[in-house]
Structure 1
Amino acid sequence: MARFIVFDVETPNRKNNRMSAVGITVVEEGKISKEFYSLVNPETDFDYFNVKLTGISKASVKDAPTFPELWQQIEPLFSDGMLVAHNASFDMNVLKNCLLDYGIDWKPYARYLCTVKMGRSLFPDRSHKLNMVCEHFGISLNHHQADSDSHACAEILLRYLEAGAEVKDFIRTCSFKK
């Protein structure tokens, strides 16, 4: 079985080009093997909506690492497995924008899976909002908290794999070129 790097990001504003938090849950051999969470100083303004949604404000991140500082720590994780997120196009685009905005050269592309797309294929008649999927499967969730969201997404991935989802059918590619 593949190694999956399930992640979730929170953003400070509607531009979605910076992170204010990241949660990472590693799945190996069908089990959660590691978890990581960090606030991120996005070095930009916060929108009221995002602060209300996530509880993360400029004051919350004043002592947190910036994305380039944090990237040195999390890049080995991101480089060592298939990336996975719930509504992955959002999280992948935030990651891409952070890399580009800070001029960080990573790799030309990354393969990833989206648990929303997997769920729509496996269970077309259900809601695929993270909180609704968690409720259906009895997965604990503190929604819009990156650590809880990434953990929940990992649990969902495991349920979908148990239900017979074929990873190869859902692989997408995100380019990290401008």
Structure 2
Amino acid sequence: MAHPSYVALDFETANYKRTSICSVGMVKVVNHELTETFYTLVNPKDFFATKNIAIHGIHSEDVQNAPDFSYVYPYMLQFIESLPVVAHNAAFDMSVLHASIKAHQFETPDLTYFCSYQLSKKTVATQRNGLKHMMQYYNLDFHGHHDALNDAKACAMITYRLLQHYPSLESVLRVYGKNLQDKDVL
């Protein structure tokens, strides 16, 4: 049986705009092992809403010298390679990625993704399926919710547990996988 490989992704945004990425975290899982991480602050060149700062603790002065999305994006693609991407609440994270790609007039990549939140709702009987709740359900340590890298690590661990209920990652992607290029996805 092939061991699943994927990249868990999480964004934090400066405000309500999908184009206001202020940090990105990614975790690469290959053959059941967390092999690599990617984290950076991102300068959204936009305002920081009080509500968002209260969630993730990132302020405008924190990203003053950080690269912008146009600089970070090629490195993200290099990190992801051709692996499927998973996010806990992919509807949010993938819409952030898509909006940011469009805003910078980049070509939309051929990127397959799936949602660990949706997968958890179909797989385990829990009252709540948020990241924190799924970490508690699987009795996993959680350090620093709403830190993009910590959330990506949490998503990777949850996905690892969820995939144990399925014959293969390919079978999950056949049912739940989506492509960023599909017009009806976002």
- Do Structure 1 and Structure 2 share a fold, with TM-score over 0.5? yes
Match of 1:94, SS? helix
- What is residue 63 of structure 1 aligned with on the other side? 65
* 1:14-56 CA distance string (max 9 Å, x none): 1122210000000111221111111000011110000111000
Of 30, 45, 50, 1:28 maps to 30
- What is residue 18 of structure 1 aligned with on the other side? 20
* Amino acid aligned to 2:105: G
Q: In the alignment, is residue 128 of structure 1 matched against residue 129 of structure 2?
A: yes
RMSD: 1.8
The answer to whether the 8 Å contact 1:20/1:40 transfers is yes
The answer to whether the 8 Å contact 2:108/2:181 transfers is no
Residue correspondences, number: 177
Instruction: Provide the C-alpha distance between the structure 1 equivalents of 2:40 and 2:94, rounded to a whole number of angstroms.
Output: 17
Match of 1:163, SS? coil
Of 80, 83, 91, 1:81 maps to 83
- What is residue 110 of structure 1 aligned with on the other side? 111
Instruction: Provide the C-alpha distance between the structure 2 equivalents of 1:169 and 1:72, rounded to a whole number of angstroms.
Output: 29
User: Percent identity among equivalent residues?
Assistant: 27
TM-score w.r.t. length of structure 2: 0.88
* 1:96-151 CA distance string (max 9 Å, x none): 111111112242x4211100111011114431011111111122221100000000
Of 154, 165, 180, 1:174 maps to 180
* 1:46-96 CA distance string (max 9 Å, x none): 100001110001001001110111112221123320010000010000001
The answer to whether the 8 Å contact 1:3/1:80 transfers is no
- What is residue 158 of structure 1 aligned with on the other side? 160
The answer to whether the 8 Å contact 2:82/2:111 transfers is no
Q: Give 5+ residue unaligned stretches, structure 2.
A: none
Q: Which runs of 4+ in 1 moved over 2 A?
A: 163-166, 173-177
Instruction: Provide the C-alpha distance between the structure 2 equivalents of 1:24 and 1:38, rounded to a whole number of angstroms.
Output: 9
Residue 176 of structure 1 and its aligned partner are, at CA, apart by 7.0
- What is residue 90 of structure 1 aligned with on the other side? 92
